[in-house]
Every structure is written in C-alpha cells, then in structure tokens.
C-alpha cells in the first residue's frame, strides 16, 4: 500500500502500512499504489511494502519497504514513465512538486524541463539501504529494533530487483527512460541490463561500467572512517551517541573526489580561513585552518545533520559492488543483453569517474553510442550543477 508521509519520516500509521498485504493474490498493494499515484500531490514521499527480497549475498530481507516520489500523470498505456535515480547521499526529491522545496535536479526535470513533468510521469525511488524512507539499517527489523549491524549487504542488482516490484505496483511494465548520474547512473545501467524488456532508453551520466580499484579504495577509506569512530559501536549506535565525527570525515574524503583540483585551487588557494592563521599557532593542536579545510569541515558537518552513518556504509558498499558484467561474461557480452537506446555523458574534469570510463562503456555498447561531454571545471559534481548543458541533446533524443 502507498502512504503519504513527511520527507524523512516513516509511514504515518502502522495500521495503514499493514493494509498493504504481502504482494500475493490480487495485488492489493499495486491497486493502492496506482490510486495514490493519481491522488497524492506531486513531490510527496510515499512508501510501498514490497515483501521479502532474496539478496545476491544469499540473505533475505523480510518485508522490505521502498520510499518514492512521483510527478505528473501516468498515461493510459503507462508509456510515459521515467525513472530518475539519485546519487550516493541524494534523496527522492528530484524537483519541486506541490510544495516549494526545491529539488536537486531541477535543470533536468519539472514543467517545461527536458524531462517535462507535464508530459511524463516521473518516479524517483530511495535506494534500498537508504535513510529517506526505504528499509535500511536505521529502520526496525522484525524484532522491532533497528537493523544496525545486522543489515545485510545489498548490491545494485538487489536494489534494481526491489525497484522492479515498485514499478509493478504502479502499473509500469516498461520505462520510457531510466537515467541518473554517478551512483544513479550505475543504477540506471543495471536496470537496462537486468530488465532489458522494461527499459526503452537509458542515460548513464558520470559513471562507468564498474567501480574501479581506485574508486573502491576511496570508498573503503570513507567506510573505515565511520567504522573507526568511537561511537560507531559496531553499527549498533541507535539510542546513543552517533558516529558523527566518522561520518563527517567520510564526507570530507568523498568531497575531495567530487571536486577538481582546479576548482579547489581557484576557490581557496592557500588562503587562511578568516582570522585563523595556520602558520602562527603556538602548538600543532591550536593552529588555524586554511579555507579549503573550513570548506571540507562545512561539507562534513552538513551531511551529519541529514544522513545516517550506517546508510552511508550500506550505499557505499552497493556502489562498490557495481560491475555490470559480473557473472555475465565480457563487458560486451553483458551489455548485449540490453535493448535500450543509450545516452552516455561524462564531465570533462571528473577525477572520480574519469571520462575514459564513459568512453569504455560507450564503446562496449551495441551500435554507435557517442559520449556527450559536460564542460565544467568543478569536477564530478558537474553532473548535478551543469546538467543543463545536455538539455538540447536529451530533448532531441529521449524526450522530444
């Protein structure tokens, strides 16, 4: 069953959630989801119970829930549905809806945007393991306690399987398009290969066909920063002090990879932060900060206020699992399963997912697939801030 909820909250009532049933027999949950898709204001977080989910690891996640938002109206033959996948610490609020809260990709989606919500029915789903309404480490396990350290490993293929159930519930047999950037692009690619008959078009932005050893190394440093926080308690910190220092440090490490060297040098150089003096301290412990250090402190502290440390680990592990060819032969063989029309794009200054990885992906896809380039000195985050550069290409290709 679908339930309207606050942006970060759980379903409003347990009774309403139980009314969803167990995804067997007549699809009561599916019927409710379709009704809600017509009656709930755009940009409202809703929740759908999808039942037990068998995972790649061999574990089973019982009675899983996915949080999602929608915009626009699904047409009679459900041919105008578009799935937009969020990145690592993103949420489902792609664009503003009935309320005034801005979304994180408004250059891409909304009334009159390339993904025009007056024409398309847009869906965004909080990834399994997240902390914005989907089942994750902070949500209750069957015994009523938070999953914490007991939360199983969830891969991108697992999350795609879960999302396919939500699509079923909404009556979407095939997506007009699935797209995303960074982790969202990896999720989109997995959709096109795992469910080729259900994806007509796929846009993969700022990510390659797999996470490389270097990207796994950066990810391991981030998860270790959290795990070594004295408040982490093996992942069972709920109800006590939380590992805020570790999560903030993880964000600092990640953010360095999200921005280019030129961006950091141009904005901050070697300048001290305000009245702080890095070279005039009487002791190492008392030295002031450079501006770039203050900037990273700000980014870390900002994430701590809105994200769960265990979810950061769970989703980072899912991204580390990204390898579209795993168990499917060569990359070319794996991608040959896909029947979608592809759109591949990269940020020219990206030093996390290098443009060469996008070119490798495009070269392995069936047919001639060009790599569109976002010119942005900012680095990896250019896929968010400069997506407008691809508006014409997306309108001409996918959303004309």
Side-by-side strand order, sheet with 45-54: 2-5, 45-54, 60-71, 121-125, 81-85, 177-181, 201-205, 341-347, 371-374
Alpha helices in 195-274 (DSSP H): 213-227, 244-258, 261-267
Catalytic residue among 91, 350, 358, 372: 350
Question: Which residue in 115, 175, 117 sits closest to 400, CA to CA?
Answer: 115
Phi then psi for residue 163, to 5 deg, are -65, -30
Catalytic: which of 86, 358, 380, 381? 380
Catalytic residue flag (residue 63): no
* Distance between CA atoms of residues 260 and 283, nearest Å: 31
CB-facing half-sphere around the CA of 61: CA atoms within 13 A? 28
Catalytic residue flag (residue 255): no
DSSP string for 71-127: ES---TTS--EEEEE--TT--S--S--SS----TTTTTEETTSSEETTTSEEEEEPP
- Is 161 known to be catalytic? no
Catalytic residue among 182, 206, 311, 358: 182
CB atoms within 10 A of CB 97: 21
Task: Kindly list the catalytic residues.
Answer: 182, 350, 380
């Amino acid at each position: 069953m679908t339930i309207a909820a606050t942006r970060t909250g759980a379903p409003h009532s347990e009774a309403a959630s139980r009314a969803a049933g167990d995804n067997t027999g007549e699809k009561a949950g599916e019927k409710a989801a379709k009704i809600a898709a017509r009656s709930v204001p755009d940009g409202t977080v809703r929740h759908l119970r999808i039942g037990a989910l068998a995972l790649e690891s061999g574990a089973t996640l019982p009675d899983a829930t996915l949080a999602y938002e929608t915009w626009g109206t699904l047409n009679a033959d459900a041919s105008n549905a578009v799935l937009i996948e969020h990145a690592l610490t993103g949420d489902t609020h792609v664009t503003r809806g009935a309320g005034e809260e801005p979304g994180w990709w408004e250059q891409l989606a909304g009334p009159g945007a390339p993904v025009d919500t007056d024409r398309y029915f847009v869906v965004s789903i909080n990834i399994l393991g997240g902390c914005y309404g989907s089942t994750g480490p902070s949500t209750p396990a069957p015994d009523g306690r938070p999953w914490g350290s007991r939360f199983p490993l969830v891969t991108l293929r697992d999350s795609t399987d879960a999302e396919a159930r939500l699509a079923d519930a909404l009556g979407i047999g095939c997506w007009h398009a699935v797209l995303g950037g960074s982790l969202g692009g990896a999720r989109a690619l997995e959709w096109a290969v795992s469910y080729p008959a259900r994806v007509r078009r796929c846009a993969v932005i700022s990510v390659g066909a797999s996470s490389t050893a270097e990207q796994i190394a950066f990810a391991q440093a981030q998860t270790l920063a959290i795990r070594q926080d004295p408040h982490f308690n093996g992942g069972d910190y709920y109800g006590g002090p939380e590992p805020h220092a570790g999560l903030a440090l993880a964000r600092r490490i990640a953010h360095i990879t999200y921005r280019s060297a030129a961006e950091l040098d141009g904005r901050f150089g070697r300048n001290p932060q305000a009245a702080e003096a890095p070279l005039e301290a009487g002791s190492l412990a008392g030295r002031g900060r450079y501006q770039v250090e203050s900037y990273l402190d700000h980014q870390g502290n900002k994430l701590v206020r809105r994200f769960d440390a265990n979810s950061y680990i769970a989703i980072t592990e899912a991204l580390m699992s990204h390898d579209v060819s795993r168990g499917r032969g060569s990359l070319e063989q794996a991608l040959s399963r896909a029947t979608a029309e592809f759109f591949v794009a990269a940020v020219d200054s990206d030093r996390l997912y290098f443009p060469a990885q996008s070119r490798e992906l495009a070269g392995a896809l069936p047919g001639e697939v060009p790599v569109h380039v976002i010119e942005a000195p900012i680095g990896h985050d250019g896929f968010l801030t400069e997506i407008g550069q691809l508006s014409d290409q997306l309108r001409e290709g996918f959303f004309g």
